[in-house]
A and B are shown apart, each in its own frame.
Chain A
Amino acid sequence: MKVYDGSQNEETQDAESERLKVGIAEYKVTTEPAAVLTTSGLGSCIGIGLYDERTGAAGLVHVMLPTAEDVEGGNRAKFADTGIAELVEALEAAGASKRTMRAKIAGGSDMLDFSENGSSIGTRNLDQVRESLSEYDIPIAGEDVGGDHGRSIRLEADTGDLVVKSANTESIVL
């Protein structure tokens, strides 16, 4: 076991605080190169990572449902359409530009879809994410979507790499 003195202990805490956890229906933005944005347990939900190489700003939103259309008020980060809008605005406020943003997305699984007709929530989430990103002209630079398994993801701010983990397979890097 390593023994840290006070100053090292402080550094350890700093290193820890750079891991930003994004919950369901939440988003976070960072301009810290060492920061890592994470979100876990994506089933039909989708994690959308946006990264602006020019400014080094990165953001991640974990959306649950396709559109806020039918719901009054509430949390904008819960829906794909308003969640992406929130994230883009927050990144712009942090100095990033839509023109140089790239998106990487993961999730939108069809697992446990009991609907007998119509498309699953995962598929509808995915359609909405693509549509919203294209409205902003933000290209999708990488994706790991669909299928019938869950995912956890990690967006590394210094490289824009999106690392996707699944329960029963090796991690992949987008």
Chain B
Amino acid sequence: MIRRVLILFLALSLPVGQAGAQLTVQILKGMAESVPIAIVPLAWDGAGPAPWDVAATVQADLERSGRFRPLPRTQIVELPHAASDVDAADWRMLKVDYVLVGRLASAAGGRYDLRYELVSVASGERLLGTSVPVDARALKRASHRVSDAVYEKILGVRGAFATRIAYVAVDGPVTKRNFRLIVSDADGANEHVVFASPDPIMSPAWSPDGRSLAYVSFHSGLSAIYVQTLSTGSQVQVSARSGINGAPSFSPDGRQLALALSRRDGNVDVYVLTLATQELQRLTEDPAIDTEPAWALDGRSIYFTSDRAGAPQVYGVGLEAGARARRVTFEGGYNARPRVSPDGRTLAVVTLDRGAYRIGVVDTERGALQVLSGGQLDESPSIAPNGADILYTSRVGGRDTLAIVSSDGRVQQKIAASSGELREPAWSPFLN
């Protein structure tokens, strides 16, 4: 394993009035076998300076992933812009395996034409050749999509650079805190405050179409669950029942919300709420704590945390009437807050590992547990839609910050805010 520290300042000139926490991504551990690649600055066909440095965004994305080792731009002397101009022998001497070249051109109606090609240095073969029309405001997102395509072509896994993350930012002293629910691009840039309150905001969860967030807010004085549409900001209260209203999780079809309620008797159980009709189905009925539901991929069963056997462990239960819960985690004295991987084979959990709360992955069939993170108080794992990385909260120096670990534990990244604390990250689904 190589150890290196690369600091990329990613919050690029945020408009005043937006979140402005300035997130910094730091690679703590990259892969020894990271792929050497050259991202050649794109040619620009148009008047004035280029409207966006596509290559710089792609370079930052690939570098931040820990899976690639992009050649520093200062070492790029040849500037081919088409695959046919790439001289494999020259790039072989620079010890890169792949070269990305391209051209951005202004097109009719204030749009742009983005062309890019990926070349294998070993074979000289052109692996990607794409031309896409891009709106003026979408150049950055289009750049992330180039990163996604390169990542997928070389690693065989769809990239998740053109996705977003939601998280809760907290600042102020313990007696006077400010809570903000924020959505940003996956690289931390382009932050928007979705909701702000002096009372706690918790447990953001994406709808499967990536257009809404469900979350818990205490701004009424009691806990309630809201669903907010991101494009319009419209906020709908979906559960404000007596007792706790917590841990919302959208069903795969987006029509239902699993949640934790305590109702009048104070017994916390998992329920399923049909959003259109407000019909409520009780899924667990146990005097123990049952909470933190997460849907299985087929939408027919739900994983949840329960302390019915003493300490918190993860269980699964079918939605059909009379279904009995089965225990899923057995290793370790504490396993909680499951999140299901995109292939359904593993759950990311918070696990107690030698006195420390860490992020682990559990095999849903065999129950085998692998601890991935190394902090003392790591929590709230959220799996990237491609399954490659897990975003979570880590307490460092008395402050909650975000961190990422690859699903195999080989890459670790830290995301820090310039101020305040960041917690409860939720990675969006793939966005169209």
Decide if A and B are genuine partners.
Answer: no
